[in-house]
Structure 1
Amino acid sequence: YHSKQAYLSVKKEGDVIKTILKPDTRYDAIINFQDKNVSHGYYQIIVNTSSKISNEQQAYTAGYAEGYMTSRLIYMYYENMLNYQKQLKLENGSYDWDPFYREYAKNQMQYINDNYEADKTDQFWIMAHLTLEWLSGLTAGYNANNPKRYHIVEDFYILNLIGDQKDLSYFIKKNIDQEQNHRCSVGIVITPDLRNLFVSHATWGSFYTNFIKIVKTHNFHFTGVRTTQQNVHFSSYPGFLYSYDDFYVVRNTANDQQLQLVITETTYNTFNQTAKEEFLDKQGHVVPTFIRVMIANWNCDSAASWLLDIQREISWTYNNNFLLVDYNLFKKAQEEADLNVRKQTLLTGKLLSSVEIVTGMTAETDETQNLIENQFVASLNSPRDEKLYNFSGYFDENLLEKDDLWSFYEGSRFCICKKMLPKVDSIEKIQEFIRYNNFLGEECAKNDSARVIAARYDLRTPEMTNRNLGYSGATDAKIIDLELMMQNQFMIIVGPTSGGNSQLKRFNFTEIEELYKEKGQLKPKPLGVHIILPEMWGTVCQYGDPEPSTAAVVCCIVIPFIAVGAAMIVWKILFDKKALKQKYAKVEELELMETETQDIQKNTKVKVAIEGQILQGEDEASNLE
C-alpha cells in the first residue's frame, strides 16, 4: 500500500477479518489503491463489493478496505485538520475536537440507529444505517494498520461533520461566524445548438488541509432500496465518506437502466441568527448533510429521487445549492436532428434541477429554461432565489458591510460569468473559466484576488481590498462534458491557480511559514503535503510558466471511470457459478483479471492537460483496475 499501485481484499467471517494484498474475488470487498500524488497531485481508490453478501457486510468491509489501505493518509489528514482547527488544546500540547461535537455525534449516531431499528424497511434509514456500518469498518481498518494514533468511530464521524461544523459552531460561539470568504464556484454551460453540455466546479479551501486528495469510486450492491447497484465517482479526502470537494458522477443501476447524473454544489451561509436559534437541533436528532448526500447518491434512480432524500430529516447545517445534471436526458436529446425538438426534450425532462438550502428554508427549481436561454447557470455561494437571499441575511450583510460581496447577481463572480460562460464551446474554454484569476486586469474583481472564479486569498492586499488575506483559495477544478461522459471520464486539476494575465506567483509553503512566524501564528507543517511539495507548489510537475493568455494549470488528468465497468464485468465472470467451480491457481486468477481488464480497456486513453492544452497520454486504463 506504499507502492504506486496495490490491491487489498477483505473478508469478514463473524468477528474475524481476513485480508490479503491481492485482488481475490472470493472475498467480500476489493480495493485498488493508486498513488498518483507526485505526478498529478492526488491518490485514487476503487472499491468493489460482492453482491453475494449482506448490505451490512458490504458496507463494513468496503469501509475496512479503505481505512486499512489509506491509513497513512487518514492519519496525516486527521492531524492536519486538528492542528488547523485548534478547537481544544490538550495537556500534551496536541488538539482534539470540542466536547460539544463529541456529544452531538454520539446523540446523532444513536438517533440514526434508533430510527433504523424502528423501521428496517424504510430505504432512507437502511442507507443511513449503512453509512454508520461503513464508518465502523473504516475505523477498524484504520486501527488495524496504523499504530500511531488509535481512533474510535466517533472521531471519524466528527471529521466527516467538518462541513456541518460551520453552522454547529453557533452553539459554541453563540454568534454568527462572520468569515469573510466564500467556498467554491460552479459554472454549467450548454452550447447554443444544444449539442454539448459542460459542468465545472472549483473547490475553495485551506491550503493547509486540502492537498491530500483522493479520487474515489464506490461500486456496491445494496439490496432492498431503489437501486440494485450503487456506482458513485467523486473527488474527496482521506477518511471521508462523501466528497467535501462537492462533485459526484453517479451511475447507479435501477430497473436494468443505468443513471448518468452529475451532482455539484456550492456552500451557503446563514447570517440570520433567529433562524439558527429556531431551526438548528442542538441534540442532533436530525441527519447531517454528509450522510444525506451519500444516501441520495447511493439510492437515487433519478434527479427527482435524489432531491427527495437530500431534503428528508434535514439538519439545516452545511447548507448548499445542489445542482443535478441529467446526462441520460441530454444524450437522448442528441437523437433529434431538429433544434426545437431537442429543446423541448430537455425542457420536458428537466435537464438541470436545483435545490437551494439555507437554515430554515429551501427552494427547489427547474433551471433548464434558464440554462437554455442564457447558455449558463452558475452557483457562487449566494442564493439566486430572492426569498432565500433575504431570509438567510445576505441582503442585510451587504448593507452592513456597504459592499456587494455577498450578492449573487451584483457580485464580482457573476459579472465574470456573464462575460466568459456564453463563449464556452470547448474543454479548453471551460477549463480557462474555472481556473480564472486575472484580478489585476479584471474590472469585475475590484483588485481582489478572491473575487474571481478561482480565488487566491494569499495574494489579497488589505490596502486594496480592506479585507484580510488568508492561506486559502481554489485548490482544484473538476470538469465534465458530453464527450467525457460518453468516454466514462471526468477531468480533475489540482493546485492553486497561477500564471495567467495577472502572472500570479505559485503558492510557496516555505514563504507562508515565514509569514506565520512573523505573525506569531506558527502551525506545524501540514503532514503529507511536503512529501509532494518540498517548497513551492508545482515544482515537482516541472511545467514551464503558463502562456500569458491561458489559465494556469498545475496538474491535471482526466479520470477514466470506465475502469469500474471493467471491474464489474470481471467480478461477474469470477463470481459466476461455473467459474467458481474451477480451481484457479492464484497466479492464474490474477492473470485472468489483468487480461480481461486490458482487453476491455484497450481503447481507453488518459488525457493529460499541461498549461491549458490537452495532450494524448499513455494508455493507463488497465492500471486503474
Structure 2
Amino acid sequence: HYCDNQTEFCAKLDDFMQKNLDYSRRTEEKLSSSDPYWNLVHLQMQQLLGLSDVFENITLDTTRTLTNVTRALYFNVVGDLIELEEAFGRVKDMHSFSLVPACSALVKVVGDYEDIYMAHSTWFQYRSMLRMQKKYTFPWHLGPDVVGTGSIVPGRTVTMSSYAGKLVSSDDFYLSSTGLAVMETSIENTNPDLWLLLDPEAAPLTWVRAMVATRMARSGREWADIFARVNSGTYNNQWMILDYKLFTPGKPVPNNTLWILEQMPGITRQDDITEILRNKTYWSSYNIAYFNDIFDISAQPQRVEEYGDYYSYDKAPRANIFRRDHVKV
C-alpha cells in the first residue's frame, strides 16, 4: 500500500534506489578486494541478497549479487526513506515514515563515577511495536583474500534492538564486541535546498554505513571517521558512540569516551564531547542538532523564530526535562 496514489513519488524513489544499488555494486566490484570499507559494504549487501532470496522464495545462490531493488531492500531502508519522502515530495498519508521524530537518548554518569548508563526511547509506528533483540556473530574478514584472526573485523559480534526481517537496528541501538555502544536520534532538515545535494552515486545508504562503521571501528573516533567517509544525505541523525573500554569505575571518564556525529546532506560534524559528560554528568539527545553549523544549515533558526523554543537546542521541552530529571537516574 506504500505506493497507492503515490505514483510520481514512487517513480522517483525507485529510480534513486536502483541507481544507488548499481553504484554500490560497481564500487564493490572495483574496490572490495583492496579496501576493507567496500569489502564490508559488499558483505552487508550479500547478507541482504540472502534475505531477499527468502522473501522472494528464490533458491540461494551465493555467486550472485543483488542487481534489482527488492522488497527486502525496502524493508531495511526505512530510516533513509524519511529523507527521501521529503526530497521527492511524497504526499503524507498513514503509510509515510517522515513523521515528526520523537526519539530521546541519554548517557548518564551515576554516583561518583560508579557506572555509565545509556538509554534510548524510539519513535515508530504502532504497527511496528513488535521488537526483538538480535545478536549477530559474523567473523567477517577485512578483505576477501586475507586470512588469520588478525584480519577479522573488530566488531565481529553486534547486538541490537531490531525487528523481524531487518538486518539493522533501525531504532538505532547497537552494542559491539569492541566495547562500543552506538545510538542515535534523528535531526530534521527544513531547508529544501539541501535535498538538491542528494546523489544516488555518492554513498551507500545510511543503514549500510552504520553497520559497516559498527563492525570496523575500535573507538568512537574511528566510528565517526568511518561513517563520515562518504555521506548519503539520508537518515540524518545525531549519532552517539560510547566507548565502555575507556571507563574505569571510580575514576573520571577519560577523553574519547563519548563521541557524537551529526549529518546533513553535504556535511557532517563530529567531536569528542567527553568533557561535557564530565562537567554535566549527562548527555541528552532529542532530535535537535548540537553543532551550530548543522543547526543553521538545516534551517532550524527559522523554525525557532517561527515556532519558539520548541525547536531551540537549549530550551526545547525535552532539553528541560533531561536537565531537571537526569539527577533521578
Smaller-chain TM-score range? 0.7 to 0.9
Indicate whether 1:270 and 2:189 are aligned: yes
Indicate whether 1:129 and 2:42 are aligned: yes
Choose the corresponding residue for 2:309, options 389, 401, 404.
Answer: 404
- Give the letter for the 2:183 counterpart: T
Q: Distance in 1 between matches of 2:155 and 2:312?
A: 41
Q: Distance in 2 between matches of 1:221 and 1:153?
A: 27
For 1:45-84, list aligned pairs within 5 A.
83=1
CA deviation map 1:300-329 (0-9, x unaligned): 222222112211221011010110111111
Q: What is residue 457 of structure 1 aligned with on the other side?
A: none
Q: Distance in 1 between matches of 2:3 and 2:56?
A: 24
Q: Distance in 2 between matches of 1:139 and 1:211?
A: 23
Choose the corresponding residue for 1:380, options 242, 267, 286.
Answer: 286
CA deviation map 1:597-620 (0-9, x unaligned): xxxxxxxxxxxxxxxxxxxxxxxx
For 1:145-156, list aligned pairs within 5 A.
154-156=70-72
Choose the corresponding residue for 1:347, options 246, 254, 279.
Answer: 254
Q: What is residue 85 of structure 2 aligned with on the other side?
A: 169
- Give the letter for the 1:222 counterpart: W
- Give the letter for the 1:316 counterpart: G
- Give the letter for the 2:84 counterpart: L
Indicate whether 1:98 and 2:10 are aligned: yes
Indicate whether 1:205 and 2:124 are aligned: yes
- Give the letter for the 1:382 counterpart: I
CA change 1:98–1:153 in 2 (3 A) is closer
Q: What is residue 302 of structure 1 aligned with on the other side?
A: 219
Indicate whether 1:260 and 2:179 are aligned: yes
CA change 1:99–1:175 in 2 (3 A) is closer
Residues 102 and 154, structure 1, Cα contact 8 Å, conserved in 2: no
Q: Distance in 1 between matches of 2:317 and 2:36?
A: 42
Residues 103 and 121, structure 2, Cα contact 8 Å, conserved in 1: yes
CA change 1:88–1:286 in 2 (3 A) is farther
Aligned to 2:158, the other structure's residue is in SS state strand
Indicate whether 1:392 and 2:298 are aligned: yes
Residues 192 and 375, structure 1, Cα contact 8 Å, conserved in 2: no
Q: What is residue 421 of structure 1 aligned with on the other side?
A: 326
Q: What is residue 370 of structure 1 aligned with on the other side?
A: 276
**RMSD over aligned Cα atoms:** 2.6
Q: Distance in 1 between matches of 2:302 and 2:20?
A: 33
Aligned to 1:88, the other structure's residue is in SS state coil
Aligned to 2:124, the other structure's residue is in SS state strand
Give the number of the structure with larger relative contact order, counting CA–CA contacts within 8 Å between residues 6 or more apart: 2
Residues 136 and 158, structure 2, Cα contact 8 Å, conserved in 1: yes
Aligned to 1:269, the other structure's residue is in SS state coil
Q: What is residue 244 of structure 2 aligned with on the other side?
A: 327
Choose the corresponding residue for 2:55, options 123, 126, 142.
Answer: 142
Matched positions, count: 308
CA change 1:286–1:224 in 2 (3 A) is closer
Q: What is residue 100 of structure 2 aligned with on the other side?
A: 181
Deviation, structure 1 residue 238: 2.3
CA change 1:174–1:219 in 2 (3 A) is closer
Structure whose CA Rg is larger: 1
* Percent sequence identity over aligned pairs: 23
For 1:217-296, list aligned pairs within 5 A.
217-224=135-142, 227=153, 230-251=156-177, 259-277=178-196, 279-281=197-199, 283-296=200-213
Aligned to 2:88, the other structure's residue is in SS state helix
Q: Distance in 1 between matches of 2:275 and 2:298?
A: 26
Q: Distance in 2 between matches of 1:391 and 1:215?
A: 36
Deviation, structure 1 residue 118: 1.4
Q: Distance in 1 between matches of 2:201 and 2:293?
A: 27
TM-score normalized with structure 1 length: 0.46
Aligned to 2:119, the other structure's residue is in SS state strand
Choose the corresponding residue for 2:20, options 104, 108, 126.
Answer: 108
Deviation, structure 1 residue 387: 2.2
CA change 1:285–1:368 in 2 (3 A) is closer
- Give the letter for the 2:103 counterpart: C
Gaps (5+ residues) in structure 2? 59-67, 144-150
Q: Distance in 1 between matches of 2:326 and 2:83?
A: 32
Residues 183 and 381, structure 1, Cα contact 8 Å, conserved in 2: yes
Q: Distance in 1 between matches of 2:201 and 2:163?
A: 24
- Give the letter for the 2:50 counterpart: G
Gaps (5+ residues) in structure 1? 1-82, 146-151, 252-258, 425-625
CA deviation map 1:391-423 (0-9, x unaligned): 2111101222x3222222110001010111023
CA change 1:229–1:196 in 2 (3 A) is closer
For 1:482-497, list aligned pairs within 5 A.
none
Deviation, structure 1 residue 171: 4.0
Aligned to 1:287, the other structure's residue is in SS state coil
